[in-house]
A = this chain, B = another copy of it.
């Protein structure tokens, strides 16, 4: 009898999720010598945007480039050793918008993706082709978009009148709020076009149902993990999963490790804290890693919390955190079967 292949599924946003998964792979393959366990990454597609007529999937690409060794390590997204001839010429042509920085190699990804989507391939199929280019199958990784249904996160903002009075509200694409406005304009709320009708991509629910461990990296709980959870069927699959669900807090001592999660949580009227984020996952979360700064702040009867240094300074740091998540998941599994 062949031993059943182990499977870990992680829900991931962009930079934080990608770095966490890279650490997880380092922990599994290099530290623990486990070449067998499959890692399924379910990526957020709510950030997706069509610019210059090309379909761009920032979170999926960040995961591909990070795991494939092609990422710009300094900024955390985009390609290393990137050039910008295309964007410079688009600026000469007056093509809009110019606030979203795209390098030449990155453009090639979006051109190929758009071509393949235009030929009728699904985002899952396109993502699998891109994953081949970046060697994910060889690392035992399957990257799945949360959904093949095009969805887009929009941010509803206050619209100030010319005299500063309240002039209602306006909605902008998430990327415009995040990149162009740097999330500095308060969000009233988030809406996700297409989410209600979205269908989980092939393999997503099956991965959640059959995994031995489910991990929530320190991704944005609202606009990354929150969007994946909003795809009809995903949250129910997590609630009903036999695997322990272990998360890593993206908030350390009241501030996000990276990005603008605080602005997102505030819009939801959720406390910007490890406790606040755990509350968003309360219906399915089993284990929760918080930073040492937050020791003792999260206490619920059914949630097992562990405190450790949560700053992912490098790949080894991310591996250490991923290892702690796996250890906690193992503890929880033992408790369940006891």
Interface residues of A (CB under 8 A from B): 52-54, 83, 85-90, 92-95, 103-105, 107-109, 111-112, 114-115, 118, 129-130, 133
Contact = CB atoms under 8 A, between A and B. Distances in A.
> In terms of DSSP, what is the predominant structure of the interface of chain A?
helix
B111 A53 contact: yes
Contacts of A109: 89, 93
Nearest to A130: B93
Given A85-B103, A89-B108, 18 more contacts: A53-B114, A53-B118, A83-B85, A85-B104, A85-B108, A86-B104, A86-B105, A86-B111, A92-B108, A93-B112, A93-B129, A93-B130, A94-B129, A95-B108, A95-B112, A104-B104, A107-B107, A111-B111
Nearest to A89: B108
A52 B119 CA distance: 10
Contacts of A103: 85
B85 A115 contact: no
A86 B108 contact: yes
A133 B92 contact: yes
B130 A115 contact: no
30 contacts: A52-B115, A53-B111, A53-B114, A53-B115, A83-B83, A83-B85, A83-B104, A85-B103, A85-B104, A85-B108, A86-B86, A86-B108, A87-B108, A88-B105, A88-B108, A89-B104, A89-B108, A90-B108, A90-B111, A90-B112, A92-B108, A93-B108, A93-B109, A93-B129, A94-B129, A95-B111, A95-B112, A95-B115, A107-B107, A111-B111
